[in-house]
Structure 1
């Protein structure tokens, strides 16, 4: 079967490419090859089933700063197609979006089905063929055309888009074509810790500053204590920026947490001295200070060697030093990681030096394009990974239909 354009991968980047190609040139014969039984499965589970479409950052250079891998390469593409363009694209197709307080953008329906239905409806209307259960076994160039061998037969295409995400089998075929693919490592994950100070605190959220010991990696923001350890934006940001380094450490490392974010140990010690002078008869354990969650404060008080019935007047210098250290320089062992919800994101993929980011075309093979996570691009959580998919797919679609 011969097509003008074949897209390998029935996910966000694949559908966005196909729809934009078809809209740019209705005469082209287009097919999406999906190895699984369902398409857009990652879209369905994203954002807790609500689909975090993008993030409300409207300055290209600022948007690109959310990509540990791809920051430099995406600056140019974001000047062509970014957040506002994405929101307009969906709005023109009847999908109403909303911006939440933290900047994440969701459909007003709060359902990923809205996005999926939009894609499927557009694809059907534009005559795009969606071929499920078509696992690509091999692809190569023959007489300036792409030949694809799948589990259900062979195909030929003039132009080929690879939008398969982190699929090592596809990466192997691309390596056979001369591309370099960097091995995938997890990029968004939570930290496993069995530290007794947080053992009984699942559900506690507070702002904190975190550093990886013996590393330049640091982060700040909301930290969520879970049954297995720590999560929340501060941890996920750290996992994204530290994806490769933490992988080399085999996810066995120590973190230093300042539960007061930017307050130093000395500043904290001084404030504890003021509390001692101001509330001498008050029990330290009973009343949380520094606007910390009560359960967290009480846990850190006990970890400082201060007994429950100790009053501020009875706290000695050793007590106050220990408490100031627990508050601003608490050391926690991390052993292992957990996937963040169902949103498995990886660092790794096609080496960015081998891609023309004006077209998202391979520098090694004409009429071979990439979009989404197949590239060595990944972002922190918050809709940024989808924005990379939309941008790459849109620009590639323009290039595919320009000649």
Structure 2
């Protein structure tokens, strides 16, 4: 049996961050990472389209927590200990400068996730963290004060164990054996599959500021909406998918959404259209795009309102005006299924948050067992927030273990 002071299960963002910070803060500890694949940091590699969306430029804890459908309440305290500014400083001290994009997402200036990976690998080597790849964990048992961890390649013992395996059902099963309860995982960030004449053949079109509601629920969101080959995506949809993860799973991803493409009421929109009927009388409706909408989307909504490409504003009757106002402010679409958002597979589910002490991220059920990252029932909307949760949890774990 190989003895270590600290074993970290999972060589992803949270696992590496915990390992490096433990070893740096207490060089006397023997720290090892057990990773089941042949290379670690896979999610870091693909995040943000290969650029690695490290965090988000939100510097007020109360505002930051609002991006976590699960974990909002629990993360408030931890974010007062380590948050966005600390993340930026941590990377900059190690030679990795970050930049803020218009939407608040933060990336390495190099625009490459490899910069983050190289930083972690260099730090791990510098502080003598042992990385053991192809070590799939088969069992975690507690014998007295020691953990015994059996992997596909051997047996380890440690005084303290950190689990940072993300959404891994096999590890969740092992944590159940140690007394934890698991909230069943469901997908959290996904796009909506929609087959509809009104969005057919216009993939890539973006409506910049829409309001989307799930019909017959309290779920709604706003922001950009992207039309794709399969349906709809972008922040307005992804936010709905995260905050509605459990409810939409119960509906088996078959439901109706109402889209307000112009964020105006039906009445205000109708008044504007009546004015346009006077002002643009001789022009065709099809060719006079309004409300700052993309031209191709306007064309589709016009044709869906019982008119053709030749219909002039002057010729619009009451029913056509109302139809167009409806399409613009309350278009109903049938969602039939979901697609994973890029490679960034995020789930709602994991270790019950009531079983964790959020001052230390230590298990309340098993002494000297710590958990960080998405192994917990915490998830966020897209934009660097899931990583910030990983850095915060891992840093607090490290600070407590290294004492």
Could you state the TM-score of these two structures normalised by the residue count of structure 1?
A: 0.99
| Residue 262 of structure 2: aligned partner | 260
SS at match of 1:109: coil
Following TM superposition, by how much is the alpha carbon of 1:201 offset from its aligned partner in structure 2, in angstroms?
1.1
Aligned ranges for residues 163-312 of structure 1 at < 5 Å?
Answer: 163-206=164-207, 207-261=209-263, 263-312=264-313
Q: Does 1:32 align with 2:33?
A: yes
Count of residues paired in the alignment = 401
| Residue 368 of structure 1: aligned partner | 369
Following TM superposition, by how much is the alpha carbon of 1:64 offset from its aligned partner in structure 2, in angstroms?
0.6
Aligned ranges for residues 133-172 of structure 1 at < 5 Å?
Answer: 133-172=134-173
**Distance in 1 between residues matched to 2:256 and 2:203, nearest whole Å:** 20
**Distance in 1 between residues matched to 2:260 and 2:43, nearest whole Å:** 35
SS at match of 1:197: helix
Single out whichever of 78-87 and 198-207 deviates more from structure 2.
198-207
| Residue 356 of structure 1: aligned partner | 357
| Residue 89 of structure 2: aligned partner | 88
| Residue 112 of structure 2: aligned partner | 111
**Distance in 2 between residues matched to 1:200 and 1:320, nearest whole Å:** 25
Runs of 4 or more, structure 1, over 4 Å off, are: none
**Distance in 2 between residues matched to 1:96 and 1:176, nearest whole Å:** 42
Does the 8 Å CA contact 2:55/2:106 hold for their aligned counterparts? Answer: yes
Give per-residue Cα distances to partners, 1:302-358, cap 9 Å, x unaligned: 000111111111000010011000110100000011111000001000000000000
Following TM superposition, by how much is the alpha carbon of 1:33 offset from its aligned partner in structure 2, in angstroms?
0.1
**Distance in 2 between residues matched to 1:325 and 1:283, nearest whole Å:** 19
Which consecutive residues of structure 1, in runs of 5 or more, have no partner in the other structure? none
SS at match of 1:250: coil
**Distance in 2 between residues matched to 1:184 and 1:106, nearest whole Å:** 29
Following TM superposition, by how much is the alpha carbon of 1:80 offset from its aligned partner in structure 2, in angstroms?
0.4
Following TM superposition, by how much is the alpha carbon of 1:200 offset from its aligned partner in structure 2, in angstroms?
1.3
Give per-residue Cα distances to partners, 1:331-386, cap 9 Å, x unaligned: 00000111110000010000000000000000011100000000000000000000
**Distance in 2 between residues matched to 1:90 and 1:18, nearest whole Å:** 15
Could you state the TM-score of these two structures normalised by the residue count of structure 2?
A: 0.99
**Distance in 2 between residues matched to 1:401 and 1:12, nearest whole Å:** 19
| Residue 60 of structure 1: aligned partner | 61
Give per-residue Cα distances to partners, 1:15-69, cap 9 Å, x unaligned: 0000000011001000000001110011000000000000000001100110000
Does the 8 Å CA contact 2:179/2:366 hold for their aligned counterparts? Answer: no
**Distance in 2 between residues matched to 1:15 and 1:58, nearest whole Å:** 24
SS at match of 2:180: coil
**Distance in 1 between residues matched to 2:179 and 2:6, nearest whole Å:** 22
| Residue 337 of structure 2: aligned partner | 336
| Residue 129 of structure 1: aligned partner | 130
| Residue 74 of structure 1: aligned partner | 75
**Distance in 1 between residues matched to 2:304 and 2:53, nearest whole Å:** 39
| Residue 392 of structure 1: aligned partner | 393
Give per-residue Cα distances to partners, 1:208-266, cap 9 Å, x unaligned: 100001110000000000001000010011100001110111111100000012x1001
**Distance in 1 between residues matched to 2:399 and 2:292, nearest whole Å:** 52
**Distance in 1 between residues matched to 2:54 and 2:298, nearest whole Å:** 37
RMSD: 0.5
